[in-house]
Amino acid sequence: MRDDVSDNSVVLRYGDGEYTYPVIDSTVGDKGFDIGKLRAQTGLVTLDSGYGNTAAYKSAITYLDGEQGILRYRGYPIEQLAERSTFLEVAYLLINGELPTVDELSTFKGEITQHTLLHEDVKNFYRGFPRDAHPMAMLSSVVSALSTFYQDSHNPFDEKQRNLSTIRLLAKLPTIAAYAYKKSIGHPFVYPRNDLGYVENFLRMTFSVPAQDYDLDPVVVSALDKLLILHADHEQNCSTSTVRLVGSSQANMFASISAGISALWGPLHGGANQSVLEMLEGIQTSGGDVDTFIRKVKNKEDGVKLMGFGHRVYKNFDPARRSSRRRRTTSSRRSASPTSCWTSR
């Protein structure tokens, strides 16, 4: 071994050459080493299908340890945030790196509230969709279309424009999602209200009708708020990588997020949630006979599978699932439908 090689470097021997690459320390988790000069020095490239051993960038946002069942946002355990914070507080934390003060949170909420409305012409997109259009297709399409309505925030190098696009997306996505649901059931769209919170607005826009306003249940509101926290970030997953890849071309944020939504649609990513809901709806349609369903799963009858169990990353347990279990049980007791309060990570 060379005398000038330390524990903070990695040596690669190839042909007649020997090349040294610096080890990059991390605050928590695995260390890495920088191979940025590998190709120039050796003519070699690395092959790591699926990037299972490759970090594409440095990040101080989320730490995930699947073996230990650990998930942290900006250093805070997900269990702590789920119990003590709201979704908008966590959104502020993920964006800015610190939890907001009372004044900062008030300002942030005010900015979100100011941008919840959609331009009236956006409704024309929904009118053009068939009634049975997949909600993720509508979500992706409308988010991409926002770039045509908000051309004042396209420059990714302008901090004010980036922040404005971030606020607009956070504020409008509940409205976009609620409108997609209304389209699927043939109901009129419901406008957001400035006197309601983030989750309250979404529930009201989704379930209110002109003849009757939706009765906001604090337990359901709290449960959905916590579920949003638990799904707020998940390190360098498929959709995060997609957003960064599209954004690397200097595309505007609406285009990048639209691409990420399309990636989330896949059955190996966010689409797994759809499979769980379809399974629960199937059980309900068959009369709620859970015992018969489980028997078919165990006996592998008719290709029946139990969806929502097991995780590609979490080998022991999912910390998000542990945090959601109590709220999920409480809220499901108040719901007439078993599919309305259950979700799978």
Give the pLDDT score at 67.
81
CB atoms within 10 A of CB 245: 15
The string of pLDDT tens digits covering residues 260-273 is: 999 999 888 887 77
- CA triple 305-309-310, angle to 5 deg: 115
Question: What's the residue count for the chain?
Answer: 345
Q: What are phi and psi of 293, to 5 degrees?
A: -60, -45
Least confident of 106-120, 153-167, 292-306: 292-306
pTM for this model (two decimals):
0.83
Helices (H), the chain: 38-42, 78-84, 87-96, 102-114, 123-128, 135-149, 159-185, 198-207, 218-230, 238-247, 253-265, 271-285, 290-299, 319-333
Mean pLDDT, rounded, for 120-148: 97
pLDDT at 236: 84
Report which of 146, 154, 134, 133 is spatially closest to residue 172, judged by C-alpha positions: 146
Structure tokens at 29: 């988790």
Q: How far apart are CA 81 and CA 319, in angstroms?
A: 12
Query: 118-148 burial, b if ≥16 CB within 10 A, otherwise e?
Result: beeebeebbeebeeeeebbebbbbbbbbbbe
Domains of the chain, first to last? 9-55 (2.20.28), 76-259 (1.10.580.10), 271-333 (no CATH)
pLDDT above 80 (res 136): yes
